[in-house]
Amino acid sequence: MNSLQQMVSVRYMVDDVQAAIDFYTGPLGFTQGFSAAPAFAEVTLGNLRLLLAGPASSAGRPMPDGRTPEPGGWNRIHLIVPDIATEVTRLRGQGVSFRNDIVTGPGGKQILIEDPAGNVVELFEPAARR
C-alpha cells in the first residue's frame, strides 16, 4: 500500500489557495505538500491530506446543471487537542476566526474555527474517560 492510501483525504473549496496554505501551515501546523497555486494545493497533518481547491481548479468547474462548487459549508475536519482552552487562546492571538464559543457535551468540548474561505475546522477535546 502506498503512503497516499494510508492517508485520509478531504477536499475543501477555497477562494484563495495561497491564503488557505498560509492558514493551515501557520496557526494549525500543517505541512505544505504539492502546490499548483493559485489553482490547487495540498497540506498534510499526520494522516490527513487536505486538498485546497481554488476556483481555477478542476474541482471548481460548474456542474452540468450550472451549480458551482463553493467554500464555507458545515462539513469539517475534526482535530483533537489536549487542552481546548489553551488552543483557543493561542489561535485567537493569531487572529483566527471562530464561529462559536466552546461548547461542552457528553463526549467532550468543541469549538468551530473558519479558514480564510469560511470552511470549518472543529477543535475537539475529548471528555476524560473513567
The pLDDT tens digits for 27-83 are 999 999 999 999 999 999 999 999 999 999 989 998 999 998 989 888 899 999 999
pLDDT at residue 4 in the model: 57
- Segment 86-116, tens digit of pLDDT: 999 999 999 999 999 999 988 999 999 999 9
Q: How many domains does the chain have?
A: 1
Domain assignment present for residue 66? The answer is: no
User: Which residue range is the domain that position 25 belongs to?
Assistant: 3-60+71-126
DSSP string, 47-108: TEEEEEE-TTSGGGSPPTTS----S--S-EEEEE-S-HHHHHHHHHHTT-EESS--EEETTE
Query: For residue 113, with 0-12 CB atoms within 10 Å meaning exposed, 13-18 middle and 19 or more buried, which class applies?
Result: buried
Q: Looking at residue 103, which CATH number applies to its domain? A: 3.10.180.10
Domain assignment present for residue 118? The answer is: yes
In angstroms, the CA 117 to CA 61 distance is: 17
Q: What's the whole-model pTM score?
A: 0.86
Domain assignment present for residue 119? The answer is: yes
Domain assignment present for residue 93? The answer is: yes
pLDDT of 5 > 80? The answer is no
With pLDDT > 90 as the criterion, what percentage of the chain qualifies?
A: 80
DSSP state of 24: H
Domain assignment present for residue 65? The answer is: no
Task: Calculate Rg over the CA atoms of the chain.
Answer: 16
